[in-house]
Amino acid sequence: MKKIVLDCLGGDNGLSAMLAGAITALRENPEMQLVLVGDASVIQPQVAEFGDRVEIIDTKVNIAMDEHPTQAIRTKTDSSLVLGLEQLKKREDCGAFVSAGSTGAVLTGGFMKVGRIAGVSRPALCPTLPTMKDGQEFMLLDCGANMDCTAVQLVQFAVMANEYYKAMGVDNPRIALLNVGTENTKGNEVVKEAYALLSKLRDEKLLNFVGNIEGDQVFHGNVDVVVADGFWGNVLLKSIEGTVKFVFKSVKNVMMSSLGGKIGALFLGGKLKKFKANKMDKTNATIFLGLKKAVVKMHGNADAVKVTSALQYATTVVDFDLNARIEAALTKVEPLLG
């Protein structure tokens, strides 16, 4: 099994959370091997029990959440993020890199240090979001990294997501294209072209393309993947976040505007807060699809429990050899997209 590199300094909770999460993961997964990047003087005494299953790359330098990504990657060459990504890049025995650092820095670092799969212009951001059907989520990609996508890029997103779902044990994921209507004549020029290409891949039995999906249907739980240009995908993602906040704030105002409402709120308040936290918070770990090796981004506020689960997630991705499979799948569909 390949090693997983963990950035122990990124994120809001710092070294202690990362280390606690890593220790639990090592105990629960006897085959797991980690490369921990961070302050060796703190890490070393705590991981002695794992012997050579743990390597340490020593640094105290972190890239902060508000630093300019490209500049930070270029200048802070001794940061945990850069050192960790370099391990992933140069070592055959390392399969994934996991970090809770800023999205921009992890994405840019992955892009600059690890490199893209041939033909992919930029890796895609691909969070998963909840739906009305219990346990059914959908993946949205891209949602911010790629502007002015071509139809071929949209198809690449679909192909990458398809391999990703296979890695997660879903064999025939339902892939939809974000559009303003369901008919194939709807949408702008890029989307209409992407629709035709995706239909071709469906006819060749390479993808389970289920057609267009509108912005109000994504929550119905009938598709696994929603493909979008980074611009529209970002509009969709942010408007969902904004609307959730808006509705919750408004519901709170309604509750507080009358005695009946206040009594109702007493019984409900905690439950709604819990729902909001569970269901609408950003998913813990996300992979950037389109890089040569797996780069996994945790939420900035990831605690020890989430670090453990992100390391297990990275293991699944590496075991499946996801990135190599994506590269092979993209090569296979290329002749069909000309």
**Residue 265 found at the interface with a second copy (CB under 8 A):** yes
How many residues bind a second copy (CB under 8 A)? The answer is 54
CB of 122 to a second copy, least distance (A): 13
**Residue 256 found at the interface with a second copy (CB under 8 A):** no
Helix, strand or coil, per DSSP, at residue 57 = strand
> How far is Cα 246 from Cα 250, in angstroms, rounded to an integer?
6
**Residue 254 found at the interface with a second copy (CB under 8 A):** yes
CB of 229 to a second copy, least distance (A): 8
Nearer to a second copy, 42 or 152 (CB): 152
Query: Which stretch, 13-21, 37-45, 265-273, 325-333, contacts a second copy (CB under 8 A)?
Result: 265-273
> How far is Cα 62 from Cα 11, in angstroms, rounded to an integer?
9
> How far is Cα 113 from Cα 286, in angstroms, rounded to an integer?
18
**Residue 264 found at the interface with a second copy (CB under 8 A):** yes
CB of 135 to a second copy, least distance (A): 13
Which of 42, 61, 152, 240 is close enough to bind a second copy by CB under 8 A?
Answer: 240
**Residue 65 found at the interface with a second copy (CB under 8 A):** no
User: Phi and psi of 220, rounded to 5°?
Assistant: -70, -15
Nearer to a second copy, 50 or 219 (CB): 219
**Residue 235 found at the interface with a second copy (CB under 8 A):** yes
Nearer to a second copy, 16 or 242 (CB): 242
CA distances from 281 to 76, 206, 301 (A): 31, 33, 11
β-bridge partners, 226: 140, 176
**Residue 191 found at the interface with a second copy (CB under 8 A):** yes
For residue 179, which of 212, 226, 154 has the smallest C-alpha distance?
A: 212
**Residue 234 found at the interface with a second copy (CB under 8 A):** yes
What is the helix (H) or strand (E) element at residue 319, kind and residue range?
helix 304-319
Nearer to a second copy, 219 or 320 (CB): 219
- 8 A C-beta contact, residue 36 and residue 4: no
Q: Where are the beta strands (DSSP E) in the chain?
A: 3-7, 34-38, 54-58, 94-99, 128-130, 137-141, 174-178, 208-213, 225-227, 285-287, 294-298
Helix, strand or coil, per DSSP, at residue 42 = helix
Nearer to a second copy, 73 or 226 (CB): 226
Which of 90, 171, 189, 338 is close enough to bind a second copy by CB under 8 A?
Answer: 189
> How far is Cα 174 from Cα 333, in angstroms, rounded to an integer?
18
- 8 A C-beta contact, residue 212 and residue 184: yes
**Residue 248 found at the interface with a second copy (CB under 8 A):** yes
For residue 81, which of 91, 70, 92 has the smallest C-alpha distance?
A: 70
Query: Which stretch, 89-97, 209-217, 319-327, 328-336, contacts a second copy (CB under 8 A)?
Result: 209-217
Which of 250, 281, 319, 328 is close enough to bind a second copy by CB under 8 A?
Answer: 250
Q: Measure the CA angle with vertex 308, ends 307 and 313; round to 5°.
A: 95
Residues in contact with a second copy by CB under 8 A are 131-132, 144, 147-148, 178, 180, 187-189, 191, 214-219, 229-232, 234-251, 254-255, 258, 260-261, 263-268, 271-272, 275, 279
